[in-house]
Amino acid sequence: MQDAPDRRNPHRQPIKEGDTTVERTLLLAVGLLALSLHILAEAATCTWTGAAGDNRWSTLSANWDAGAGNVVWPQGNDALFDGEPAAPVNVSNGAVQFNQLTVQNIADGAMTIGKISGNDADYLVAVGDATVNVPTGTSLTLPRVGGSVGLTLRGGGTLTTSREFNYLSGGLNILHGTLQRLPIAGNGTVTLLDTSGGNDPRLFMRGVNSSWIMPNDLVVQAGSTGTATVENQPTTGSGFTPTLSGNLALNRALTVKATGTQTLAMTLSGTIAGAGDLIL
């Protein structure tokens, strides 16, 4: 039984089974709704202002400008530090999630983000894009960094952490710049080089004053004309024998070297495969 026409509105007629015009209209409406939800779900850029005066990166302190005045940190968004903060910034109130973290225009070339607690209860969690952007000539030190999606470094600068990267899984992707720390097994695969361009990535173990072992598999990606480097540089003593025990997949050349007080060659105990050269 079909619905009767609407005599009060002759343009509003009952939907008939098999009416492809109506079906296409409904599909278009659903598509537009999905697109709107996707746009809303994208991370917004929040710029540090320090307006609350406590220098805390947390979900309680209104130290961020998201475009409409100062707000508390909205979890999972993009953090921008444009210029060096007036006082050191400290993560507080537990886990703080970020999608991208960017620093720029740091006058003295070095910035540190610390934490309030002394037991790692306050820390950063990389989510989504999980990308840190540090420009060439700038170094950024972070507190504990966690997350299961891996961490990507871009920008050409140096990224380090006061607590290793031992709470981070899912891989370390050094596409442009220097990652200054020793990865561990839980980090997953370490990837060097982007798949295009000519940027140089470096994994730099400076000040690891022991015969360290890097158990991670390491992949050098193809497609870039940049130079990939793994470097060890103890700051005290000599005779430390670094070991790369993971497997190496060399789709492009990899330079492995020891500098500073180090005089012994590195030990490579994993398998080596790929068309790229290993330069010692």
DSSP string, 138-203: -EEEES-EEESS-EEEESBSEEEETTTTTEE-S-EEE-SEEEES---GGG--EEES-SSS---EEE
3 state DSSP class of 229: strand
What's the DSSP call for residue 255?
Answer: E
Q: What is the pTM of this model?
A: 0.82
What is residue 17's predicted lDDT score, i.e. its pLDDT?
A: 54
What are the backbone dihedrals phi and psi of residue 243, each rounded to the nearest 5 degrees, phi first?
-130, 125
What is residue 33's predicted lDDT score, i.e. its pLDDT?
A: 39
Q: Residue 32 burial by CB count (10 A; 0-12/13-18/19+): exposed, middle or buried?
A: exposed
What is residue 239's predicted lDDT score, i.e. its pLDDT?
A: 64
Distance CA 178, CA 204 (A): 7
Distance CA 222, CA 196 (A): 8
Look at the chain and count its residues. Answer: 280
Distance CA 18, CA 29 (A): 18
Mean pLDDT of the chain: 84
Q: What is the pLDDT along the chain (280 residues), one digit of tens a residue?
A: 555 555 555 444 554 555 554 444 444 444 433 333 333 357 899 999 999 999 999 999 999 999 989 999 999 999 999 999 999 999 999 999 999 999 999 999 999 999 998 778 899 999 999 999 999 999 999 999 999 998 999 999 999 988 767 778 888 999 999 999 766 667 789 999 999 999 999 998 876 666 778 888 999 999 999 999 998 877 766 666 778 899 999 999 999 887 776 655 678 899 999 999 999 8
Q: What is the pLDDT of residues 139-153, one digit of tens each?
A: 999 999 999 998 999
- The sign of the CA dihedral 100, 104, 110, 116 is negative
Distance CA 202, CA 227 (A): 8
